[in-house]
Chains A and B, each alone.
Chain A
Amino acid sequence: MILTILRILFLRLRNNPLELVLVFVMPVVFFSIFAGIFSKGIATGSDKKLRVGWIAAHETALSLGLRAFLEKNSTLQCSSLIVKPSLADLEDEAEEESVAEIEIEATIAEAQRAGRYDLIIRLPNDFPSQLVDSQDSTPCAVQLVTDGQNPMAVAMVTSVVRGFFAQKKAEVTAEQMMSLSLAAQPSSGYGSPREPNESQYFDPAKNPSQFFGDDPDSRFIVTNLDGVNSVNGVSNVPKEWAIAPPQAELTTEELLETALADTTESENDEAVSISVENPQAATQENPRIAMYAAGIAVLFLLFSSTGNAAALLEEAESGTLDRILVSQAGLFHIVTGKWLGILLLGCLQITVMFVWAELVFRIQLAKHIVGFCIMTFSTAAATASFAMLLATLCKSRAQLNAVSVVIILSMSAVGGSMIPRFAMSDRMKEIGRWTFNAWALDGYQKIFWFQSPLTSLQNEVAVLLGSSLVLGVLTLLFSGRWKRG
């Protein structure tokens, strides 16, 4: 008897291809999506680089060195921000500086809104041309401008910047010490002239720490940016050779740990003073919560929309649709009425989610109400059309359930409803652009995170409403099958 019951189970499974897909193919699909995101999409993989913006009022040798150092780092993708000139009239120098400041801030704000960078490095006007190692010297000021989305970005870039300055500082120190050493031992041993035998200069038999103090790490920071090599175990090291900065070879996790360690030791590091600024922080309150609300809302909106659209299939199966089609309501009325209903329910669903988020987490909904309404309407319209098209293409409710689960979960995984988009690689982000989730989340992000003007939503609104229109027209075209039987 048990075997018979078992046999029934397997026979039914075998006779239902959709169920087979759900049981066997779905887990593989989702595994692949998440494996793709986590192996290559998250910042730990080779595919993902932190996008670092670079803005320096005046480039100096030191700033160019820092820039070159950042560009050599395999975890960073560094590019310059082009400051857009202001249209304001400049009357005097003071005002000129003020305008320049405004222009830079506007450029940074625009870049952040566009989501082009994970972090922006900003160097002040008085950034020095070289590092001076003296008791009286003030540390070089480096400002990191973040939008707060990617908390790892600050830690990683801080680590790399500190690495650069530590290296430069050691280089300066080494040069000073070598000068002293050469002066103390003019005729033999390490102090002998470099020419012609370089090996005499860096004799591996003798510990370089004799030159550079007891700190064993000092051996590694005797470096020149022109080359990479290590002093350790190498018998013939020209002075011009240098070691690669150890940070460049670290993994993301190691970089993060180093950054955290550096942060705690920052008081002892006087070569650089790194400040972190988040322009949105002053006016933001729980923007991350708003993003979570949007992510979850869009995911469930897709499910509820397809669930409501499935009523069309139920009506077709029961004959109710035939009865309605025979009545004074035509196919256009039916499709439009259903679409409108799904749209209104979707708007209500997202609103409930955000009202709750406002009540509990204070996401400043009232302040962004217009942008919220625009994005909510656009998102609900797109999902309504998507759901209606799916329902029109599927032959039965069971088929719709299976297909919608696969598509919606895939879209949500890639589109940012499950994993933050900032953590994805550019490739994954591009793929995400084919989902409603990504466009909707980008729009909500602009509203609640960047507090962008409404005009900045034009791309998101255009894509969502355009998709809604196209899918709606396709729904009307394909819905003709209800009349054809």
Chain B
Amino acid sequence: MTESSATTVSPVLTLQNVRKTYRGREALKGISLELRPGELLGFFGPNGAGKTTMIRCISGLLKPDSGKIIRHPFDHGDDDDQNNDEPIRLGLVPQNLAVYPDLTVQQNLEVFGRLEGVSGKALKHRINEVLEWAALKDRTQSLTKTLSGGMQRRLNIACSVLHDPDILLLDEPTVGVDPQSRERIYEMMQQLTADGAAVLLTTHQLEEVETRCDRIVVMDHGTIVADGTLSELVSRTIGQPHRVILRFDRPCSKPLAAFAFDEPRTTATCSLASMKELPQVLSVLKQLDQEPSRIDVRSYGLQDVFLELTGRSLRE
């Protein structure tokens, strides 16, 4: 999803100042956000930040104490009827394996499809599609408990998309799976967003959020502390996304343009807006009469943003 389209497409889900006290603790302290069709939104935050509570509120399992959660009627454009708005279809992929281990893959898909109101030929057709999508076609008659961890995770997601949801909520969908299965799971999600579904996932996998999500929301202590693309978050929290660090064995006496020295003048730092500036910045080294003992070039990522926003103290 491009940034321009993200702002023009009307949201399928809007949260307005949602508050929820859960088990004696204020888990959500006024959450507001929007989710648009075709968007893959990564929810990132430390343990106990309120991510799961928020997903349970969105899915209707918990009722907020205050605020609004609006699921906008969705025009599926299935026919020419003028009045084809219908309630939003929502799918939930819980953190644990929420499937029946003693049913086969096919049986699990059948029962969850029926629970979502899909039946008959439509269900059969949809199961075939989903089996293909989740790369489980050759294991349809296997008992779920006999599948590998990655397959079980894929089935866990597959069971939630049989009704072709407009919004898919995933709580830690890639926990405990191998890199190949994780790759496959993200491909599945990208196919969903390509088909117009809005996907909201919570995860602890920084790399996944950085590279896979269209938008990142950082949550801490029940509030959203940052919301945007990675570059937006970095620029808002840290500033320039890249940094060059020169280290000297002894204090450097000469000033260096664009570099800032620390007090003993053994470390000089320069921030870059783009890597293209790197050759120009490093050209100042020619002016020095002493060589730096070490040169580090570092790009800031979500971890830096996250630590910058949430601090380094341990959480739950």
- Cβ of B194 within 8 Å of any chain A Cβ, yes or no, is no
Q: How far is the CB of B113 from chain A (nearest CB, A)?
A: 10
Cα distance A109–B95 in the bound complex, in angstroms: 64
Cα distance A320–B152 in the bound complex, in angstroms: 13
When the two chains form their complex, are residues B115 and A327 in contact, meaning their CB atoms are under 8 A apart?
yes
When the two chains form their complex, are residues A318 and B96 in contact, meaning their CB atoms are under 8 A apart?
yes
Knowing A326-B59, A483-B61, A485-B22, say if A319 contacts B115 (CB, 8 Å). no
Cα distance A483–B90 in the bound complex, in angstroms: 17
- Cβ of A84 within 8 Å of any chain B Cβ, yes or no, is no
Residue among A323, A328, A483, A485 making CB contact with B98, cutoff 8 Å: A323
When the two chains form their complex, are residues B61 and A326 in contact, meaning their CB atoms are under 8 A apart?
yes
Residues in A231-262 with C-beta less than 8 Å from chain B: none
Q: How far is the CB of B2 from chain A (nearest CB, A)?
A: 30
When the two chains form their complex, are residues B159 and A323 in contact, meaning their CB atoms are under 8 A apart?
yes
**Could you list 5 examples of A-B contacts with CB < 8 Å?**
A322-B59, A323-B98, A324-B115, A326-B92, A327-B112
Closest 3 CB pairs of A and B: A319-B94, A319-B98, A327-B115
Residue among A320, A327, A329, A484 making CB contact with B62, cutoff 8 Å: A484
When the two chains form their complex, are residues B117 and A328 in contact, meaning their CB atoms are under 8 A apart?
yes
**Per-residue interface assignment for chain A, residues 460 to 485, with 1 indicating a CB less than 8 Å from any chain B CB and 0 otherwise:** 00000000000000000000000111
Cα distance A319–B157 in the bound complex, in angstroms: 13
- Closest residue of A by beta carbon distance from B92: A326
- Cβ of B116 within 8 Å of any chain A Cβ, yes or no, is yes
- Cβ of A325 within 8 Å of any chain B Cβ, yes or no, is yes
Do most interface residues of chain A lie in helix, strand or loop, or is the interface mixed? Answer: helix
- Closest residue of A by beta carbon distance from B100: A320
Q: Which of A318, A319, A323, A324 has the most CB of B within 10 A?
A: A323
Residues in A302-349 with C-beta less than 8 Å from chain B: 317-320, 322-329
Q: How far is the CB of B169 from chain A (nearest CB, A)?
A: 8
- Closest residue of A by beta carbon distance from B56: A485
Q: How far is the CB of B254 from chain A (nearest CB, A)?
A: 62
Cα distance A173–B4 in the bound complex, in angstroms: 123
- Cβ of B190 within 8 Å of any chain A Cβ, yes or no, is no
When the two chains form their complex, are residues A485 and B61 in contact, meaning their CB atoms are under 8 A apart?
yes
Q: How far is the CB of B119 from chain A (nearest CB, A)?
A: 11
When the two chains form their complex, are residues B98 and A326 in contact, meaning their CB atoms are under 8 A apart?
no
Which residues in B have their C-beta under 8 angstroms from that of A328? 115-117
When the two chains form their complex, are residues B61 and A319 in contact, meaning their CB atoms are under 8 A apart?
no
Cα distance A483–B61 in the bound complex, in angstroms: 5
When the two chains form their complex, are residues A319 and B116 in contact, meaning their CB atoms are under 8 A apart?
no
Q: Which of A325, A327, A485 has the most CB of B within 10 A?
A: A327
Knowing A326-B60, A326-B92, A485-B61, say if A320 contacts B98 (CB, 8 Å). yes
Q: How many residues of B contact A (CB 8 A)?
A: 24
When the two chains form their complex, are residues A323 and B92 in contact, meaning their CB atoms are under 8 A apart?
yes
Q: How far is the CB of B194 from chain A (nearest CB, A)?
A: 23
Cα distance A171–B60 in the bound complex, in angstroms: 89
Which residues in B have their C-beta under 8 angstroms from that of A323? 92-94, 98, 112, 159-160
Q: How far is the CB of B202 from chain A (nearest CB, A)?
A: 13
Residues in B55-99 with C-beta less than 8 Å from chain A: 56, 59-62, 90-99
Knowing A327-B116, A328-B117, say if A319 contacts B95 (CB, 8 Å). yes
Q: Which of B96, B115, B160 has the most CB of A within 10 A?
A: B115
Extra inter-chain contacts (6) besides given A323-B92, A323-B94, A485-B62, CB under 8 Å: A319-B97, A319-B98, A325-B61, A328-B116, A483-B62, A485-B61
Cα distance A396–B56 in the bound complex, in angstroms: 20
Which residues in A have their C-beta under 8 angstroms from that of B94? 318-320, 322-323
Which residues in B have their C-beta under 8 angstroms from that of A319? 94-98
Cα distance A483–B59 in the bound complex, in angstroms: 11
Q: How far is the CB of B57 from chain A (nearest CB, A)?
A: 10
Which residues in A have their C-beta under 8 angstroms from that of B93? 323
When the two chains form their complex, are residues B91 and A326 in contact, meaning their CB atoms are under 8 A apart?
yes
Which residues in B have their C-beta under 8 angstroms from that of A322? 56, 59, 61, 92, 94, 98
- Closest residue of A by beta carbon distance from B113: A327
Q: How far is the CB of B10 from chain A (nearest CB, A)?
A: 23
- Closest residue of B by beta carbon distance from A315: B98
Which residues in B have their C-beta under 8 angstroms from that of A484? 62
Which residues in B have their C-beta under 8 angstroms from that of A327? 112, 115-117
Cα distance A484–B115 in the bound complex, in angstroms: 21
Q: How far is the CB of A333 from chain B (nearest CB, A)?
A: 9
Which residues in B have their C-beta under 8 angstroms from that of A325? 60-61
Cα distance A329–B61 in the bound complex, in angstroms: 13
- Closest residue of B by beta carbon distance from A317: B96
Cα distance A458–B115 in the bound complex, in angstroms: 39
When the two chains form their complex, are residues A318 and B92 in contact, meaning their CB atoms are under 8 A apart?
no
Q: How far is the CB of A399 from chain B (nearest CB, A)?
A: 18
**Per-residue interface assignment for chain B, residues 110 to 123, with 1 indicating a CB less than 8 Å from any chain A CB and 0 otherwise:** 00100111000000
Which residues in A have their C-beta under 8 angstroms from that of B116? 327-328
Q: How far is the CB of B50 from chain A (nearest CB, A)?
A: 13
Cα distance A319–B112 in the bound complex, in angstroms: 13
- Closest residue of A by beta carbon distance from B53: A485
Q: Which of A322, A324, A328, A483 has the most CB of B within 10 A?
A: A322
Cα distance A319–B159 in the bound complex, in angstroms: 13
Q: Which of A317, A319, A324, A329 has the most CB of B within 10 A?
A: A319
Which residues in B have their C-beta under 8 angstroms from that of A320? 94, 98-100
Cα distance A325–B92 in the bound complex, in angstroms: 10
Cα distance A212–B146 in the bound complex, in angstroms: 91
- Closest residue of B by beta carbon distance from A329: B115
Cα distance A327–B60 in the bound complex, in angstroms: 10
Which residues in A have their C-beta under 8 angstroms from that of B95? 319
Which residues in A have their C-beta under 8 angstroms from that of B62? 483-485
Which residues in B have their C-beta under 8 angstroms from that of A324? 115
Q: Which of A319, A322, A326, A485 has the most CB of B within 10 A?
A: A326
Cα distance A317–B96 in the bound complex, in angstroms: 8
Q: Which of B22, B23, B97, B98 has the most CB of A within 10 A?
A: B98
Cα distance A272–B98 in the bound complex, in angstroms: 77
- Closest residue of A by beta carbon distance from B162: A327
Which residues in A have their C-beta under 8 angstroms from that of B115? 324, 327-329
**Per-residue interface assignment for chain A, residues 82 to 113, with 1 indicating a CB less than 8 Å from any chain B CB and 0 otherwise:** 00000000000000000000000000000000
Cα distance A318–B95 in the bound complex, in angstroms: 8
Residues in B5-32 with C-beta less than 8 Å from chain A: 22-23
Cα distance A317–B112 in the bound complex, in angstroms: 18
**Per-residue interface assignment for chain B, residues 274 to 286, with 1 indicating a CB less than 8 Å from any chain A CB and 0 otherwise:** 0000000000000
